[in-house]
């Protein structure tokens, strides 16, 4: 399989009403795994932890926060900013 055919990790910024991805309040990623994708969210410790957020979001149609798909680069930028703010 060529690298371009590899399944990609998808990132989602959690935003409040009227917010932008750059002002995200949380981060979720969907990792392609078999037999179904694995969803993970950034916890208070700034590490990835399993979550059912995306499954609930797509099933219920809405939650208390909205999400928007973002690039891996923006996800890394958000993580770096949050880690720097906490002295990590």
Evaluate whether residue 8 is within a structural domain: yes
Helix (H, G, I), strand (E, B) or coil at 52: coil
- The mean pLDDT of 19-28, rounded to a whole number, is 94
**pLDDT confidence of residue 65:** 66
Q: Could you tell me if residue 60 is inside a domain?
A: yes
User: How far does Cα 32 stand from its chain's mean position?
Assistant: 13
Residue 88, in any domain of the structure? no
Whole-number Cα distances in Å, 21 to 2, 44, 59, 61: 31, 19, 22, 19
6 vs 73 pLDDT, higher one: 73
Domain of residue 19, residue span: 3-80
pLDDT of 88 > 90? The answer is no
Evaluate whether residue 85 is within a structural domain: no
Instruction: Tell me if the pTM is above 0.85.
Output: no
Q: Does residue 28 belong to any structural domain of this protein?
A: yes
Does any domain span residue 87?
A: no
Count of domains for the chain = 1
Q: Over pLDDT 70: what percentage of the chain?
A: 86
| Averaged confidence pLDDT in the chain | 88
């Amino acid at each position: 399989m060529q690298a371009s055919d590899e399944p990609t990790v998808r990132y989602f910024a959690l935003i409040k009403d009227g917010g932008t991805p750059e002002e995200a309040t949380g981060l979720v990623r969907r990792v392609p795994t078999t037999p179904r994708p694995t969803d993970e969210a950034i916890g208070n410790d700034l590490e990835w932890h399993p979550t059912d957020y995306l499954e609930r979001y797509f099933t219920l149609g809405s939650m208390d926060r909205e999400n928007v798909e973002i690039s891996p680069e923006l996800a890394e930028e958000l993580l770096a900013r949050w880690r720097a703010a906490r002295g990590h």
